[in-house]
Chain A
Amino acid sequence: MLESNYIESKRRVVVRLEGDLKSTSVPEAGNWLATEWPRIRAQSPKQIQLDLREAKVVDSTGLNWVFQFLKNCRDLGVKPSIQIASPAAQRVFQFAGLDKLATVKFRSRKQL
């Protein structure tokens, strides 16, 4: 459900999520973050990109996970970028004020 790739030439870590980010998927995402983050930290990335383009539904639990992710990035001294493709997710992120904590890039595509 989550995977990360490190692009060495740009010292960029790309974390990609498959599917939605909601209460039932967040426990697994939380475990992943706990086990994978030490490895990401060890890579000392200059850029971190969170690819959420597959997520149509992001609920409050999912939003909390994103906050934790952003907090981790802040601790590394990196301002991450977040890619989304769902207008609904965009509205949720606007509500949460995530544009103050990350660069949010919206790439529209068909929802249904």
Chain B
Amino acid sequence: MAAVNKTRRILVVDDDKYGLSFLRSSLRLGGFDVVAAMSAAEARALIEGEGSSAFLAVLTDHRMPGETGLDLLGWIRKKDETLSTVMITAEGEKELVKESLQAGASDFLEKPVSYIELIEALERAIERTLRQRRSAEHAIGIAAAGKLDTFLNTQTSAGLEGHLRLFYRPLHEVGGDFVQARQMGNGRFVIFLGDVSGHDLTAGYVSSYFQGLVRAGIEASRPIGESLRLFNRILLEEWSPAAESRGEIMTSLAISTLEIDLNAGKVVTTVAGNPPPVCVDAQGWVRSMAKPGFPLGWVESWPGDVYTEPVSEGDVFLLFSDGLTDWAEELGIDPLALFYTLFVEAIVSELIAPPPDDLILLRFQTDPQINVSDQFHPLIHETYAGSEVDQIDRLEVVWRRTLVFALENELEDRIFDVLICIREAVLNAMIHGCERLPTKRCSLNVSYRPSDRRIRVRVDDPGKGHQFDLASRLAEMPLVDGRQLGLGMIQHLSDEMGIENEGTSVRFDFFIDGVKGKDA
């Protein structure tokens, strides 16, 4: 006879006292710790009294006066989903079997039941209970870790109200994307946004370690670059060799940092592996603030370049990890339009595919008093080589998808006016400004200001411009050569148009509501 194992405690329910006694004896022989009940009500009282976690399985007959085994089963499912149940049914009760399984019974036994069948069914039920309870504990632990992860990975200090807006959506409960933003003194701020390789607990640990390292450095007035160089060395000289010896992939960290001094009117940018931050000014013009570089943990020769540039009143800085650019690529749109939609519109459409990676976006506006809707929001910021003329149809598809995505169908048929004008301006820039050369590039900027529903477009090229009087040429529209015909079309279709730098910069605006402004 097997010793009764107090850890294999089961509840047996049967209204027949001889049957119950037999089951109790048999199962004790099999090493189970048996608690017996003669009715569903008695079983409920025992479970309530001792707690469902005191039992690893419930074996119940179906046919009992008053509440049946099926009734008891339904109650147990609501009380504790992890507790497995085995139902004993009479011969021929096939429909009941089906009902039992649908109601959540783990197993059923049809009378007459052999001893071996009984033992095996209970062994399976206990195993199932233990497995389900381990999963439930794991889920609770992960949920708790997730809350801590969000807290640790979105650290912002006081003094940033009005300046800062954050969007954080990890792929799992714990991840490696993080942001820290701190006010260092009046008008001085430090921001860093990072992305540790991987999405699992390892990435979470690395993220926390790095953030602690940088935070300590900031508190000790150490330049951020020093902390980045130190961590690069740690990754390359200590962690990567250890990972390699375990047969694991090395860890890397992509990061972008901004050190903003509004009093001095400057911002210092460092980028290692992340998409470069962008700055959008009060006029809606966008510029990248750095060139991409290698992530930390890749090359010994890091750090990458440091960029210092002036800050102007009304500037807004946008930082984001590659989760945004990857998702935008899947959707076939510009990442900045996705940034705008997630951030300002606060819309994540249920109709689009879920993001493939962690998402962390940060928006910092130098003037906290300006209303977000009164600012320009970039939707497209791209550069194209002169040799990409043949790709113009593909580019037009991306522009159209991007504008429709960001502005939904607000433009209606005016979207074709916008597309024709962008197409004309970009073709002009590629053909004349860039001379169709792969070594020369033009840029396209499209921004949107919600308060007056204004779309602003600018195309710049590196050409020499023109020496003739453009206004006179446009006045002779339209029967002139292709170059001015395009500019004439832009002037006619848009609501405002301006040309600067002898034609190497073309700007035009559209008001969605169709209010025509003065020509610039």
Contacts and interface: CB of A to CB of B under 8 A. Distances in A.
Interface of A: 22-24, 56-61, 63-64, 67, 86-89, 91-92, 94-97, 111-112
Contacts of B482: 60-61, 64
Contact of B485 (A57, A64, A94): A64
Given A23-B392, A112-B409, A91 B493 contact: yes
A60 B417 contact: no
Contacts of A61: 482
Given A57-B396, A92-B492, A96-B478, 19 more contacts: A22-B393, A23-B427, A57-B419, A58-B420, A60-B482, A63-B478, A64-B485, A86-B416, A87-B416, A88-B414, A91-B417, A91-B493, A92-B493, A94-B492, A95-B489, A111-B413, A111-B416, A112-B404, A112-B413
B415 interface: yes
B392 A24 contact: yes
Nearest to B484: A60
* Main SS at interface, chain A: helix
Contact of B415 (A60, A89, A91, A112): A112
9 contacts: A56-B416, A57-B416, A60-B486, A63-B485, A87-B416, A92-B489, A95-B493, A96-B477, A111-B415
Contact of B420 (A88, A97, A112): A88
B412 A111 contact: yes
A57 B417 CA distance: 8
Nearest to A108: B413
Interface string B372-391: 00000000000000000010
Given A23-B392, A57-B423, A86 B413 contact: yes
A67 B479 CA distance: 9
B478 A91 contact: no
Nearest to A88: B416
A91 B478 CA distance: 13
Contacts of A94: 492
B488 interface: yes
Contacts of A87: 413, 416
Interface in B89-119: none
A57 B396 CA distance: 11
Contacts of A92: 420, 489, 492-493
Contacts of A64: 482, 485
A59 B478 contact: no
B334 interface: no
Interface of B: 390, 392-393, 396, 404, 409, 412-417, 419-420, 423-424, 427, 477-479, 482, 485-486, 488-489, 492-493
Contacts of A88: 413-414, 416-417, 420, 493
A91 B479 CA distance: 16
B443 to A, nearest CB: 20
B234 to A, nearest CB: 53
Given A57-B416, A86-B413, A91 B492 contact: yes
Contacts of B393: 22, 24
A64 B489 CA distance: 12
Nearest to B418: A88
Of B417, B478, B479, chain A has the most CB atoms within 10 Å of the CB of: B478
B416 A95 contact: no
Contacts of B423: 22-23, 57, 59
Nearest to B482: A60
Given A61-B482, A67-B479, A95 B488 contact: yes
A94 B477 CA distance: 12
Contacts of B416: 56-57, 86-89, 111
A60 B392 contact: no
Nearest to A86: B416
A26 to B, nearest CB: 10
Contacts of B413: 86-88, 111-112
B460 to A, nearest CB: 19
Contacts of B477: 95-96
Contacts of B493: 88, 91-92, 95
B175 to A, nearest CB: 38
B45 to A, nearest CB: 66
B297 to A, nearest CB: 44
A59 B489 contact: yes
Of A57, A86, A87, chain B has the most CB atoms within 10 Å of the CB of: A57
Contacts of A111: 412-413, 415-416
Nearest to B478: A96
Given A57-B423, A60-B424, A95 B412 contact: no
Contacts of A63: 478, 485, 489
Nearest to A89: B416
A89 B417 CA distance: 9
Nearest to B393: A24
A101 B339 CA distance: 47
Of A64, A67, A112, chain B has the most CB atoms within 10 Å of the CB of: A112
A91 to B, nearest CB: 6
A13 B407 CA distance: 42
Nearest to A112: B409
B400 to A, nearest CB: 10
Nearest to B427: A23
Given A23-B427, A67-B479, A86-B413, A59 B420 contact: yes
A66 B493 CA distance: 18
